[in-house]
Amino acid sequence: MKKLLVAESAGFCFGVSRSVEMAESLLKRYGSCASLGQLIHNDDVVAALERRGLRVIETARQAKAGEQVIIRAHGVSPEVYSALEAAGAGVTDATCPKVKAIHTIVRRASDEGRFVIIIGMREHPEVEAICGWCRECAVFENVQELSLWLETNENFWKKPITVVVQTTQTRNNFNECCEIIKKRCTNAKISDTICLATFTRQEEAAQLSGECDAMVVIGGRHSANSLHLAQICSEHCGNVQFIERTDELDLDRLKDADTVGLTAGASTPAWIIKEVRNKMSDEIKVEESAVEKELSFDEMLEETLKTIYNGDRVTGTVVAITGTEISVDLGAKYSGFIPTTEFTDDGVKVEDVVKVGDEIEAIVVRVNDVEGTAMLSKKRLDAAKVWSDIEEAVDNETVMEGVVTEENKGGVVVNVKGVRVFVPASQTDLPRDAELSQLLKKTVRLRITEVNKARKRVVGSIRRVAQAERRERIEAIWNEIEIGKRYNGVVKSLTSYGAFVDIGGIDGMVHVSELSWGRIHQPSEVVSVGDEIEVYVINFDKEKRKISLGYKDPEANPWTQFTNRYQVGDIANVTVVKLMPFGAFAEVVPGVDGLIHISQIANRRIAKPEDVLTVGDVVEAKITAIDQEKHKISLSIRALAEPAPVVMNEPEEEEADEVGGEDALVYDVSVDGTATGVIPEEAEEE
């Protein structure tokens, strides 16, 4: 064995790495947790996690109340989520986002009445979970099974069918199945759901095995993607070893091979790959100046990694900063540099964003083998990461943030981390006739709904986020609402009987009688549309979704202010506000009026109140009676006047005195300070 080629994509994929990291985080936080099934298809990794406190359970019924249970990357059916909830367990969902996307596809297909065909291993946990999100489905492992089923089920040829594929399936198997479906089924929707990382690993394995005399594939016996890697390598190379760990490696089978390839499945950790690599290093030899010199595998691997190409992603250390470039040590024979212009946008100083000693990641733009330099770009890497984030945001329904930069035909453009996202006018969450220009330069939250990287086209929706946030706010309000609770609200509209106030997504109504303690005829006398006001809950009905609000301050109740200040027998300066045939209304304090009966206006008999009083007059009056229950006040000017001379033979005067005595309770004041009734018959008739 003289040469070793190592697959760049060997080892943990994103989904597996993510699930292991989540498990380690749970163990660190709680000390123990459970995994529904083996977390990954690698016994060594599972055993290591078990020693740290991970408990493997086979069914949701085995979960303990209060225990944290992690859903592995393969995902589970909706019934399993319900069973875990019923068991009282906490759920940490590590389902791979790519698998989640398949669940969404088949669930929507079932809702539309479509039959689902799944290409994959029927007993694999990923496929079993996908089946749980379908109403009607069938699983086929290869084109032979599918062909036989279609031949014997002609009634499905014209039915609406949706096709998905297990994320770790081979491209050839999927393509062969699709060809049969396209020939037979006239109403089929086919979704290519093979994971990009899986496809890349398979393509690399096919190319590598075609160049090598022998191949070593590391992976779990039950790992679908590892089995497929071994299968692909066997199609191109006659000497393939499929092993789980180092002690299974047969070095004798590698002695006669000049070139050996090494790859590993998505469930293989780096330390197992390294162990296999170290064991092989004793057998690797290269010729140098006609003298055989034995080198370790680490040295060979290091030499391999030192070769970099345009488009490679590299990591290095900043060793120097000049006025034009940043020098980066890549640990290779190439000296990397990044133009400072990539860091000095908008007048930013380069030393404010990067310093000597910083580790930096970038993409190789151009390699100069003659000079031994490599031009790098951090901007391109950041842009690639952003595109990756945006593509994942579609499947994950991630909420992103950006700034509206321009008004476009039919919508607006939002800058999301440097990527232009078009938001149609219907998705801006503005009223139909509203000016889109009001969004310019504003920061908005949106969901990505469509991505076409080839055309550099991204479409988003502000409305979806706004609607979801409104629903959350509304539910929060209904869950926490109680009588007396105060809210800051905005007046949305006015009617003749009150004002509607938005208290965070829900409109409550402030009746006109609750707007002011004083007399008002229209709500517009107190508030206007758009006003921000503080209100409190008077009553609510969750079933009818109605809320009654108050605006006037209970502590400013005029009747309370009156009773705190005056009592029967006190003298007050009152203002005449209205004249009636039976007497005069006078304001004692703002919002509280008393009645001066006609018999109590003067110490003599008068024909009508206006003979003595005029609206606006301020006079002294004695409080002769207070009814706390009915809020009635009687006033008397006569009680403070000098007695009138006695006039003989005037029975009419005596009759008048009998009708309205000095202490008669003649006036009713409501809670809000307005007159609601009077005792004298004259007043009642009025």
Q: With 0-12 CB in 10 A as exposed, 13-18 as middle and 19+ as buried, what is 4?
A: buried
Q: What is the DSSP letter of 572?
A: E
**β-bridge pairing 592-597 and 632-636:** parallel
Tell me, yes or no, whether 247 lies in a domain. Answer: no
Q: Do 350 and 448 fall into the same domain?
A: no
Q: What is the mean pLDDT of residues 263-290?
A: 68
**What pLDDT shows up at residue 410?**
87
Task: Read off the pLDDT band of 298 (50, 70, 90).
Answer: very low
Q: With 0-12 CB in 10 A as exposed, 13-18 as middle and 19+ as buried, what is 541?
A: exposed
Domain boundary among 61, 93, 125: 93
Q: Do 521 and 428 fall into the same domain?
A: no
**What pLDDT shows up at residue 403?**
92
For the chain, give the number of residues: 686
Residue 168 tokens, joined: 């770790």
Which 3 state secondary structure label does DSSP give 36? strand
pLDDT (tens digit per residue) in 308-350: 788 888 888 887 777 778 888 776 656 788 888 887 766 677 7
Count: domains in the chain: 6
Catalytic annotation, pick one of 67, 126, 141, 514? 126
Q: Report the C-alpha gap between 211 and 395 in whole angstroms.
A: 37
CATH assignment at residue 31? 3.40.50.11270
Domain boundary among 556, 584, 607: 556
Q: What is the 3-state secondary structure (H, E, C) of 182-246?
A: HHHCCCEEECCCCCHHHHHHHHHHHHHHHHCCEEEEECCCCCHHHHHHHHHHHHHCCCEEEECCH
- 252 or 289: which carries more pLDDT confidence? 252
CATH assignment at residue 143? 3.40.1010.20
pLDDT over threshold 80, residue 670: no
- Has 58 been annotated as catalytic? no
Q: Do 365 and 415 fall into the same domain?
A: no
Q: Report the C-alpha gap between 679 and 641 in whole angstroms.
A: 24
Q: Do 68 and 177 fall into the same domain?
A: no
pLDDT (tens digit per residue) in 427-452: 998 988 888 889 999 999 999 999 88
Q: What angle do CA 376, 379, 385 make, to 5 degrees?
A: 110
**What pLDDT shows up at residue 652?**
46
- 141 or 542: which carries more pLDDT confidence? 141
Q: What is the DSSP letter of 639?
A: G
**What pLDDT shows up at residue 625?**
92
- Please write down the long-range contacts of 408-414, taking CB distance under 8 Å and 24 or more positions apart: 411/436, 412/436, 412/439, 412/440, 414/444, 414/446, 414/460, 414/462
Closest by Cα among 336, 296, 295 to 315: 336
Tell me, yes or no, whether 285 lies in a domain. Answer: no
CATH assignment at residue 533? 2.40.50.140
Q: Report the C-alpha gap between 325 and 484 in whole angstroms.
A: 64
Question: Hey, how many other C-beta atoms are within 10 angstroms of the C-beta on 250?
Answer: 9
pLDDT over threshold 70, residue 175: yes
Q: Do 22 and 66 fall into the same domain?
A: yes
Q: Do 103 and 140 fall into the same domain?
A: yes
Output the DSSP codes for 92-158.
EE---HHHHHHHHHHHHHHHTT-EEEEES-TTSHHHHHHHHT-SSEEEESSHHHHHHHHHH-GGGSS
Domain boundary among 93, 118, 139: 93
Tell me, yes or no, whether 621 lies in a domain. Answer: yes
Tell me, yes or no, whether 296 lies in a domain. Answer: no
**What pLDDT shows up at residue 1?**
58
Q: What is the 3-state secondary structure (H, E, C) of 406-448?
A: EEECCEEEEEECCEEEEEEHHHCCCCCCCCHHHHCCCEEEEEE
Contact present, 588 and 572 (Cβ < 8 Å): yes
Q: Do 106 and 82 fall into the same domain?
A: no
Closest by Cα among 175, 176, 192, 166 to 143: 176
Q: Do 661 and 567 fall into the same domain?
A: yes
Tell me, yes or no, whether 251 lies in a domain. Answer: no
Contact present, 603 and 686 (Cβ < 8 Å): no
pLDDT (tens digit per residue) in 78-132: 999 999 999 999 999 888 877 888 998 999 999 999 999 999 999 999 999 999 9
Residue 325 tokens, joined: 């470039």
Q: Do 70 and 86 fall into the same domain?
A: yes
- Residue 458 is inside which H or E element, if any? strand 457-461
Q: What is the domain range of residue 133?
A: 97-194
pLDDT (tens digit per residue) in 194-240: 876 777 788 889 999 999 999 999 988 878 888 889 999 999 999 99
Tell me, yes or no, whether 505 lies in a domain. Answer: yes
Q: Do 565 and 656 fall into the same domain?
A: yes
Share of the chain above pLDDT 70, in %: 86
Q: Do 377 and 317 fall into the same domain?
A: yes
Tell me, yes or no, whether 320 lies in a domain. Answer: yes
Tell me, yes or no, whether 610 lies in a domain. Answer: yes
**β-bridge pairing 68-71 and 399-408:** unpaired
pLDDT over threshold 80, residue 666: no
Q: What is the pTM of this model?
A: 0.42
**What pLDDT shows up at residue 290?**
27
Q: Do 493 and 576 fall into the same domain?
A: no
